[in-house]
Amino acid sequence: MLKNSVIGNNGVTDYRAAQNLHQQALRQGILDDASNLLLSEGLQALSMRRIAQMVGCSTTVLYTMFGSKQGLVDELYLKGFARLRQALEAVPKSDNLLEYLIALGQAYRAFALANSTYYAVMFCQTSPEFTPTQNCIQQSWSSFVLLVSTVQACIDTEIFVKDNAQEVAKMLWAIVHGHVGLELTGHFKDSTSADDRFNRTIRTILAGLTHQQFSDQKQRK
């Protein structure tokens, strides 16, 4: 009887695991469809009824999953940052911290160009109705923990001058984000030139954080 009980419990566990996987896949499918709809047709098309029609479910299912349209856009926002974090974490580690920072910047750019729909929700204020909550903003910043820790390592090893690692990371993010934003809005249409410009920009900024500033410090002394 004990053996049958164990088998029964495993069966329930397996069933629940399968149900959870199904729910996650359904949720992701809904988010992907909603994101594509938002970018292609604008905010006016993003209604719970329209999304329900697209995915073939009732609006009740959507409200049960997300609570409201605001809750659904919250999920799009956070899902985008989760994907960005995964893209940055996938960059191979390197003992050369400067080259590693460049690789992180390149991974950020590649993510943005390959996931323009999510990127629009994350940064481009596609939905004027949506203002990220403080909790959403805090969770989104967790995507840049790797960048901050790498900058801190550069400071600790005196590659960079002493500074606040988070502030330097934000500065680097701003530079990369600006370049990517211009690309996504069609200002840098030649991909080869854009690649070269992007890499040159990062290297110039990093050089300014190292040798040039060290030189300036020595002159002031």
Whether domain 1-67 has CATH 1.10.10.60:
yes
- Distance (Å, rounded) from C-alpha 148 to C-alpha 177? 16
Domain 69-221 classification at class level: mainly alpha
Instruction: Give the span between the Cα atoms of 104 and 93, in whole angstroms.
Output: 10
The predicted structure's pLDDT at residue 57: 85
Q: Spell out the domain ranges in the chain.
A: 1-67, 69-221
Q: Is 27 exposed, middle or buried (0-12, 13-18, 19+ CB in 10 A)?
A: middle
pLDDT of residue 132: 77
First to last CA, the chain: 83
In this predicted structure, what is the pLDDT of residue 213?
Answer: 47
How far apart (Å, rounded) are the C-alpha atoms in residues 103 and 86?
Answer: 14
| pLDDT for the residue numbered 214 | 40
CA distance linking residue 213 with residue 88, whole number of Å: 27
Handedness of CA 108, 113, 117, 121 (dihedral sign): positive
Give pLDDT tens digits along the chain (221 positions).
Answer: 444 444 455 666 687 777 777 778 888 888 888 878 877 776 677 788 998 988 888 899 899 988 888 888 888 888 889 999 999 999 999 999 999 999 999 999 999 999 887 888 888 765 666 777 788 888 888 889 999 999 999 999 999 988 999 999 999 999 999 999 998 888 887 778 888 999 999 999 999 888 554 444 444 44
Q: pTM value? A: 0.76
Q: What is the pLDDT of residue 8?
A: 52
Q: In this predicted structure, what is the pLDDT of residue 11?
A: 61
Q: Which residues contact 95 (CB under 8 A, 6 or more apart)?
A: none
